Structure formats: structure tokens, C-alpha cells
Amino acid sequence: MPVMPDFELLRPDSAEAAVALHASRPASRYLAGGTDLLPNLRRGLADTATVIDLGGIAELAGIRVDADRVHIGAGTTLAALAAHPGIAAELPALAQAALAVAGPTHRESATLGGNLCLDTRCRYYNQSTPWREANHYCMKLEGDVCRVAPKSKRCYAAFSGDVAPALLALDAEVDIVGTNGRRTLALAEFYHDDGMRWLALDRGELLAAVRVPLAPGWSSGYEKLRIRGAIDFPLSGVAVALARDGERLAGLRIACTGVSSRPERIEGLDALVGQPLDDAALAQLEKLVLRGIQAMETTTASVPYRRKATPILARRLVTRLWTEAA
């Protein structure tokens, strides 16, 4: 049975204090809800002598709905996010994505920031130490070969967070705190396509908040494929934001998770704007989704299944939102 290693636990009361503590202990790790970090520590997939608990930082929690945008602290739990009436009404894709994460008890602890920064996952990496040792480890930890793509010079572990595609489809941006102050990034710039270096965070930087613009006239939704009806990470997840003007598409954004080393926002959809959402448009949509994902052998489901299922999932969700928008 894996045993939790000993570590020093620090509890700062501000984001700046947390960043300063990390700067004094460069090998430390931030702890939010702990639903990802603590299992990884126990299983030997992460290692640190110091954990910086962010739970006591008031500015990292809470939801504020303004006239033109929603501000969400990174420490807000997924349960609070899913239950918030303003989120459900104005940003349904985000509420649905938060509700789709794991199970009810996980969502009471898991945070928005934690899910956005979720460690990438792979069937060759998320295993016990003896299993990984018997397979000579992998590039992501202690080895030098990506077991998914042995000839590759990069890691193909998949990003599997649920809320990221919803926020990508909703055009969100993130606020980041570091030793050099604060900065803001579009969420699309927050991720790299590399299973080992998937976040655009400098050493010690901390995700503080997410801001989502309110867009009247837009509909949104999120759906995922998984083996079990709860608990499981997505084999594939799709978020859609859509605007309809009569019988023509006025706007469309689609983002996917579980099928690349980062959440992917699908490109080329502007070509469908101004057109009716007919069978030809839906067929083109499926081609664009297929072109925008790169599913690899990172889960128990086959690559051909995920590559075939993801465009169909996107088509069904777009069709549902189109019909509801009428």
C-alpha cells in the first residue's frame, strides 16, 4: 500500500505571501483541493518536502457576477461553481463541466484552479511504482522514452480537465500572480502542447482567478464520454458556445479535452459563420474537430474510438444548442 511521504505544510494568508514562500523553497508545491496532488504524492508521481496550502487565502475564493463578466477565484470549489445560479444561467457550459468532474465528494474539495492546472495523464504514467519500474518508467517521470510515441522527443500524456474546454469555448482569461507581480493571459495561451510542460506558468507563479465575458445571445454546453457515469476522467470532452441569428449561425466556438496534451480550441469554425447549420455545415464541423485533436494511446479506450467519437459528440452538442436557440 503506498504511503503518504512526510512534508512541511505552510498556510499563507495572501497570494503574494504564497508566491514568496515558494520563492524561498523552489521545490515546494501548491495545494488547493488536493484531489490531484495528494494521490500523486502518495503514489510516488510527485515529490516535495514542502506543501503550500492555498485554502486560507480569501481572494482566491468566491464568484462575482458583474454587468459584463463573471469573476471566479481559482480556489472556488467545483461544487460551488456547479450550484451557483448565476453560472448556471449565464455560463451553462461551465456549470455542466464542473458538475461532470469526478463525484460529489470530490467536487466539495476540488477547485477551479486545480482542475485547470490538472496534471496530464497517461496509462503508462498513472501507475504504481513497481509497475512503472517493470516497464522502465517513461519520459514524464524517471525515464527517457514516451511509451505512447517511443520515437517522439516530447511527452504525449493527455490533459483531462473538464472545466478548461468550457472556459475556452466561453473565451475566458486568467489572472496569474508571480514574483514579478500580476499578469493576465487568454486561457488559450495558458497551455502548451506537451505532456510534461503543459502550463504557461513560470516557476512559482500561481493561478489566482478566471474572468469570463458575458455574451448575450450565446448558448453553451459541455458533454463528455467516460467509461463510468461518474468518477472517471473524460475519454473525450467537448464544450460548445453558439450564437444563432434566425436560420444562420452567428458564432461558434468548440473546445475539446482528453484528446491532446492540452485542451484544444478548434480552429477554422469561422468559415461556418453566416451559413445555415445544415448537413453540409455539420459534416464540415466534424472534419474540423477531427483535424484539431490528436488522440493517442493514453487511456483504456482505443485511439480510433476516440477519434471517431469526438466529432460525433461535437456534432450532437452543436445540434442540441442550435435547436434550443430557436
Q: What does the pLDDT look like over 35-67, one tens digit per residue?
A: 999 999 999 999 999 999 999 999 999 999 999
Q: Is the pLDDT reported for residue 229 higher than 70?
A: yes
Residue 149 has pLDDT above 90, yes or no: yes
> What is 58-117+158-325's CATH number, 3.40.50.740, 2.60.40.790, 3.30.390.50, 3.40.50.1970?
3.30.390.50
Look up residue 239 and give its three cell numbers.
Answer: 464544450
> pLDDT band at residue 2, thresholds of 50, 70 and 90?
confident
Average pLDDT on 114-143 reads: 95
Beta pairing, strands 8-10 & 50-53? parallel
146-167 mean pLDDT:
97
The reported pLDDT for the residue numbered 117 is: 98
pTM: 0.97
What pairing do the DSSP bridges indicate for beta strands 248-257 and 264-265?
antiparallel
Task: Quote the CA–CA distance of 285 and 291 in Å, as a whole number.
Answer: 10
Write the CB contacts of 95 (distance below 8 Å, at least 6 apart in sequence): 81, 82, 84, 87, 88
Question: CB–CB of 162/115 below 8 Å?
Answer: yes
* Helices 279-292 and 303-325: angle between axes, nearest 10 degrees: 140
Q: In the prediction, which pLDDT does 46 show?
A: 94
- Ramachandran bin of 44, using left for φ above 0, alpha for ψ from -120 to 50, beta for the remaining angles: left
The alpha-carbon radius of gyration of the chain (Å, integer) is 20
Total residue length of the chain:
326
Instruction: Write down the domain spans for the chain.
Output: 58-117+158-325
Average pLDDT over residues 228-248: 96
Contact call for residues 236 and 310 (beta carbons, < 8 A): yes
pLDDT at 3: 87
Give residue 219's pLDDT: 98
Instruction: Identify the H or E element spanning 30.
Output: strand 29-31
Q: Answer for the pair 227, 242: CB distance below 8 angstroms, yes or no.
A: no
Over residues 276-300, mean pLDDT? 97
User: Residues 187-211: what's their mean pLDDT?
Assistant: 97
Examine the pLDDT at 139 and tell me if it is beyond 70. yes
The percentage of the chain sitting over the pLDDT mark of 90, rounded to a whole number, equals 98
